[in-house]
């Protein structure tokens, strides 16, 4: 059944948040439509709420379909675009939208329903003659599948409830864990087994269909670079897909699309064996994908525009022969997460967020400087998309854009992404799904090379800020002296570096500065946002942002965030020696020690839950637990003191 067609859509509601809401608004506005946002309390100050013509508050959750439909009625929207995630693949919601007389922007509820069940979807694929991986719906039937295998949630997606199992003795535990996660993540604990191809690539075909029986494919995207089973770098075309393979995969996808009577945008996912170039059907995503921009960049097709046109009943108006591909596009997903700590989600306030003017790349982002990255939603900060004549151009441009981004306040995977894009392996197209484990790009988490220079820039910028703030003697030269006082000094600490760096300096009569370390510094221009500075004949302009005692300096290859050691410390406010702090905000699930306990290094002491995942905090050293100021169920801020351990080494 095709959805009802309204002759025109003049007002569209996006049942989503963040970057995808803004992305849909952008095209909708370009097509002359008014835009309606829905939002929950946590997103009250988000840019997408402000950008919409009207924003309607939801009582509780983006998953509350009834409230979303009511919002559309209230604001006079004719159509609902679900974005991705949330209600985007919820057939019941799609049906309710249609039943309310609104236009659903997406494939028909029936198609969503049949493709939503991975087991059912696989059956459709087999019927359509599309190759599939050996699998079993019976989680104990490992014989049929073989090892290594993957336990996957039937209702799942996005890596949740997914486990790799290497041998039979891990199976029972892995199935149980996957079921728990599936239940908490999707409210459905069904899981199935599937053959795991270690050196594989994730390649997906973008399809587009209208209500008049026309389907085209827009080529492939490769999404092989993943961490925690979630994509972080996507590209089109894939370095391993030649025109023949593209045609073969495209034909398979179109066969499936025709079998489904697919309309709107969708994605057929395949696993490609890196050694044999065989491809296996995985699933169909009945929505716009996060990574859709790379397809848009190489084909010049605005997928959201096509979705809106198709939803309004228009025919595509072109066939497969009209689709052509130009150059190469790569997308990197910038996440608030810590690559050095198993990519655990990070939170915080985005104190600095300013892309450089060049290189020109596409920034699809739901945040602005000052946005808070919290625990409520996926911690994606932005999608950065570079398009170039060749893959090498695109990768270089994307890496440079990431490197030149002024970004601070939250731990992110930026350096990791940039390092990945610059590895010889990536540039050679050697991008299998095990890429990160295999190549571990830029992995040691050490302070960047540009650190001492960044410290000087930070010190000099702070100096300028101090002078600008002096409303008594602001007219006088910085640090002016007519007698011998010691040099002005500032101590800057880096995360992971024990000793703070001291920058000591004196001003000179000509307005320049002499560092105690010998360098000569000239400040050509100072502003609240940046500094044009020359350090020993080497001149650069660096964006600088200060947020409390943290200062972020864009160094050209990353943003170096430093802690300004306060000159004075209020006694009693220091972190106690032996203190263990929460690595992220979260809820205390379990406390496995009490004051007086003797613990050994590596022993799990506290379990936190954040982002629906369990995180184990273990003892860094052996010793005696002296204080445990937390309780089960308590919500902790990032950096909160969990407990203190006396390792006997320090005389407290």
Partner 1 sequence: MNRSLLAPPLTSSLDTHSEQFAQNCADMLEQLHIHDVLLDKAAEGGGEKPMARHRSRGKLPIRERIATVIDPDTPFLEITPLAGYGSQYALGGGMVCGIGIIAGTECVIMGNDPTVAAGALTPYASKKWMRALEIARDNRMPYVSFVESAGGDLRPGGGGAKKSESGDDHGAVGSAVVPAHFAETGRFFYEMTELSKLRIPTVCVVFGSSTAGGAYQPGMSDYNIFIKEQSFAFLAGPPLVKMATGEIADSETIGGAQKHAEVTGLAEYLAEDEMDALRLCREVVSHLNWRKPDAAPTLQSDEPVEDPEELLGLVSRDLRQPVDIRDVISRVVDGSRFEEFKPRYGTTIVCGWAAIHGYPVGVLGNNGVLYPDSSQKAAHFIQLCNKLDIPLVFFQNITGFMVGTDFESDGIIKKGSQMINAVTNSLVPHLTVTIGSSYGAGTYGMSGRAFGNRFTFTWPTAKIAVMGPKQIAGVMSEVRRGQAARKGEEFDEAADAALVAAHEAAHDKGSLALRATGAIADDGILDPRDTRTVLGLCLSVVRNRPIEGAREYGVFRL
Residues that bind partner 1 (CB under 8 A): 462-463, 466-467, 470-473, 475-486, 488, 490, 509, 567-571
Q: How far is the CB of 456 from partner 1 (least distance, A)?
A: 15
Q: Which of 231, 256, 254, 2 is nearest to 120 (CA)?
A: 256
Cβ neighbours of residue 343 closer than 8 Å, sequence gap 6 or more? 227, 228, 335, 337, 413
422 within 8 A of 439, measured Cβ to Cβ? no
Q: How far is the CB of 568 from partner 1 (least distance, A)?
A: 4
Least distance from C-beta 481 to partner 1, angstroms?
6
Minimum distance, C-beta of residue 283 to partner 1, in the bound complex (Å): 59
Instruction: Annotate 525-572 with DSSP letters as a single string.
Output: EE-SSEEEEEETTEEEEEEEEEETTEEEEE-SSSEEEEEE--S---TT
Minimum distance of partner 1 from residue 586's CB (angstroms): 34
Q: How far is CA 278 from the centre of its chain?
A: 30
Nearest residue (CB) to partner 1, 495 versus 548:
548
**Phi-psi region at 41: left, alpha or beta (left = phi > 0; alpha = psi -120 to 50):** alpha
Could you give the CA distance from residue 102 to residue 94 in angstroms, rounded to a whole number? Answer: 10
Q: Cβ of residue 473: shortest distance to partner 1, in angstroms? A: 6
| Residue 247 CB contacts under 8 Å (≥ 6 apart), including other chains | none
320 vs 478, which CB is nearer to partner 1?
478
* CB nearer to partner 1: pick between 29 and 563: 563
Up-side HSE of residue 522: CA atoms within 13 Å toward CB?
8
Q: How far is the CB of 524 from partner 1 (least distance, A)?
A: 17
Nearer to partner 1, 468 or 604 (CB): 468
Phi and psi torsions of 181, nearest 5°? -65, -40
Sheet holding 635-636, edge to edge: 613-618, 604-610, 586-591, 635-636
Answer whether 125's CB lies under 8 Å from 256's CB: yes
Instruction: Say how far apart CA 631 and CA 423 lie, in whole Å.
Output: 45
Residue closer to partner 1, measured from CB, 476 or 601: 476
Between 518 and 571, CB nearer to partner 1: 571
CB nearer partner 1, residue 631 or residue 652: 652
Closer to partner 1 by Cβ: residue 484 or 596: 484
Question: CB of residue 458 vs partner 1: minimum separation in angstroms?
Answer: 13
């Amino acid at each position: 059944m095709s959805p009802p067609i309204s002759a025109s859509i003049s007002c569209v509601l996006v049942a989503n948040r963040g970057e995808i809401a803004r992305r849909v608004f952008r095209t909708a506005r370009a097509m002359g439509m008014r835009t309606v946002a829905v939002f929950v309390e946590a997103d009250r100050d988000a840019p997408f709420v402000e950008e919409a013509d009207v924003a309607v508050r939801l009582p509780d959750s983006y998953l509350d379909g009834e409230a979303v439909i009511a919002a559309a009625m209230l604001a006079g929207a004719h159509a609902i675009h679900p974005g991705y995630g949330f209600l985007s693949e919820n057939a019941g919601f799609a049906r309710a939208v249609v039943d309310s007389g609104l236009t659903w922007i997406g494939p028909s509820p029936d198609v969503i329903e049949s493709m939503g069940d991975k087991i059912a979807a696989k059956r459709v694929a087999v019927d359509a003659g599309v190759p599939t991986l050996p699998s079993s719906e019976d989680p104990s039937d490992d014989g049929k599948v073989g090892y290594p295998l993957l336990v996957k949630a039937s209702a799942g997606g996005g890596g949740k409830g997914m486990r790799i199992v290497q041998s039979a003795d891990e199976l029972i535990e892995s199935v149980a864990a996957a079921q728990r996660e599936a239940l908490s993540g999707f409210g459905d604990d069904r899981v199935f087994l599937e053959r795991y191809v270690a050196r594989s690539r994730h390649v997906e075909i973008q399809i587009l269909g209208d209500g008049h029986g026309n389907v085209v494919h827009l080529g492939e995207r490769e999404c092989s670079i993943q961490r925690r089973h979630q994509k972080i770098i996507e590209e089109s075309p894939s370095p391993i897909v030649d025109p023949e393979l593209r045609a073969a995969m495209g034909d398979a996808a179109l066969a499936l699309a025709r079998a489904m009577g697919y309309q709107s945008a969708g994605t057929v996912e395949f696993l490609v064996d890196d050694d044999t170039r065989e491809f296996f059907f995985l699933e169909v995503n009945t929505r716009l994908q996060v990574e859709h921009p790379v397809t848009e960049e190489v084909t010049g097709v605005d997928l959201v525009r096509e979705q809106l046109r198709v939803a309004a009943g228009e025919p595509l108006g072109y066939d497969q022969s009209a689709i052509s591909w130009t150059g190469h596009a790569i997308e990197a997903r910038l996440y608030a997460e810590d690559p050095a700590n198993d990519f655990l989600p990070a939170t915080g306030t985005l104190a600095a967020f300013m892309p450089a003017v060049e290189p020109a790349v596409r920034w699809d982002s739901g945040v602005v400087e000052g946005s808070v990255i919290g625990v409520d939603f996926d911690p994606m900060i932005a999608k950065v998309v570079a398009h170039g004549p060749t893959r090498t151009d695109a990768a270089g441009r994307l890496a440079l854009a990431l490197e030149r981004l002024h970004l601070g306040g939250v731990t992110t995977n930026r350096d990791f992404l940039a390092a990945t894009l610059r590895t010889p392996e990536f540039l050679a197209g050697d991008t299998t799904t095990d890429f990160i484990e295999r190549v571990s790009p830029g992995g040691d988490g050490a302070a960047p090379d540009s650190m001492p220079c960044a410290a000087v820039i930070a010190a000099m910028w702070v100096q300028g800020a101090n002078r600008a703030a002096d409303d008594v003697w602001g007219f006088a030269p910085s640090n002016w002296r007519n007698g011998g006082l010691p040099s002005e000094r500032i101590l800057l600490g880096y995360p992971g570096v024990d000793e703070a760096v001291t920058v000591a300096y004196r001003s000179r009569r000509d307005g320049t500065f002499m560092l105690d370390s010998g360098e000569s510094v000239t400040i050509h221009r100072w502003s609240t946002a940046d500094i044009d500075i020359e350090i020993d004949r080497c001149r650069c302009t660096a964006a600088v942002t200060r947020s409390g005692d943290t200062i972020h300096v864009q160094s050209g290859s990353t943003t170096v965030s430093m802690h300004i050691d306060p000159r004075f410390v209020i006694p009693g406010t220091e972190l106690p020696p032996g203190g263990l702090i929460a690595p992220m905000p979260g809820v205390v699930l379990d406390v496995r020690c009490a004051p007086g306990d003797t613990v050994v290094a590596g022993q799990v002491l506290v379990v936190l839950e954040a982002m629906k995942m369990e995180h184990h905090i273990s003892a860094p050293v052996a010793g005696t637990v002296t204080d445990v100021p937390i309780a089960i169920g308590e919500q902790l801020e990032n950096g909160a003191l969990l407990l203190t351990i006396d390792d006997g080494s320090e005389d407290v």
